[in-house]
Amino acid sequence: MTHSRARIHELLGGELAPRRDLGQNFVGDPNTVRKIASLAQVGPGDHVVEIGAGLGSLTLALAETGAAVTAVEVDRGIVPVLRDVVADQPNVTVVEADATTIDWDDLLAPAPRWTLVANLPYNIATPLVADLLDTAPQIAAMLVMVQKEVAQRFAAAPGSKQYGAVSVKVAYWATARIVGEVPPSVFVPRPNVDSALVRIDRRTPPDTDRAELFDLVRTAFGQRRKMLRRSLAGRVAPERFAAANVAPEARPEDLDLAAWVRLADAR
């Protein structure tokens, strides 16, 4: 049984409170967590890693699917409550750890393929997703709830104002799409922003010099209002733009992933 708002307040009691420094906003709506579990498309035989399990609202919904769930939580005050909440769920393992510093190879060693499902704290969402795409190929899919603006950047298309360096990073490794929106009213405490659900499915990336590609992307988007011939001056010569069939007058948001790969490969 997943948590209602009243149940969350009961679990917190008088001694615990959501921590602002950890970006804690607990979901107090059973329909929302069950929707997330459904969109994750997991079931018996699947392995799920949940980041920021908190009081276990989403953990319980994931457990209902029959998947094996590894619930990661950093708050040592919350962890004992989480362990008690899932005590009768044999398919749930609680790990007290910081997702930004944990040894992911060790955590994911029990299975070759994982789905990450999480209500991610807003302050770590972008760097964590980017890092896991780079370093954790065992995670084949992600379903993450993040701030709506972050979700838009993950799934943005070239030419849009949300399109940026992280959009290219996600597109390199995966396909991403927004699959739902979540109102502030379902959280305890209620945040001042809207949230959205993003599904990210890993794919085979283009064959290119990844370090060069991402360095060019970061450099160009660091001065996104400038034309590429200016933001990449000293890095990309005119003949290299020509070889890549990329207009030097273009701005970084004009280039799709294929164009960025051509520019990285051109010599």
CATH assignment of the domain containing 196: 3.40.50.150
Domain match, 228 and 106 both:
no
Domain match, 163 and 216 both:
no
- Predicted TM-score (pTM) of this structure: 0.93
Domain match, 112 and 142 both:
yes
The answer to whether 46 and 67 are in contact (CB under 8 A) is yes
Q: Which pLDDT does position 70 carry in this prediction? A: 98
**Counts of helices then strands in the chain (DSSP H, E):** 12, 9
Overall domain count for the chain: 2
State which residues form the domain around 14. Answer: 5-202
| Sheet of 68-73, strands arranged across | 92-96, 68-73, 47-51, 114-119, 139-147, 195-202, 174-182
- pLDDT (tens, 9 = 90+) of the chain, 267 residues, equals 677 777 877 777 766 666 776 666 888 899 999 999 999 999 999 999 999 999 999 999 999 999 999 999 999 999 999 999 999 999 999 999 999 999 999 999 999 999 999 999 888 999 999 999 999 999 999 999 999 999 999 999 999 999 999 999 999 999 999 999 999 998 887 888 899 999 999 999 999 999 999 999 999 999 999 999 999 998 999 999 999 999 999 999 999 999 999 999 998
Domain match, 171 and 219 both:
no
Domain match, 215 and 190 both:
no
Which of 202, 228, 245 marks a domain boundary? Answer: 202
Domain match, 195 and 214 both:
no
Which of 202, 224, 252 marks a domain boundary? Answer: 202
Which of 159, 177, 202 marks a domain boundary? Answer: 202
Residue type for position 222 = G
Provide the CATH number for the domain around residue 259: 1.10.8.100
Between CA 81 and CA 58 the distance in angstroms is: 14
What is the chain's alpha carbon radius of gyration, rounded to the nearest angstrom? Answer: 20
Burial letters 44-61, b for 16+ CB under 10 A, else e: eebbbbbbbbbbbbbbbb
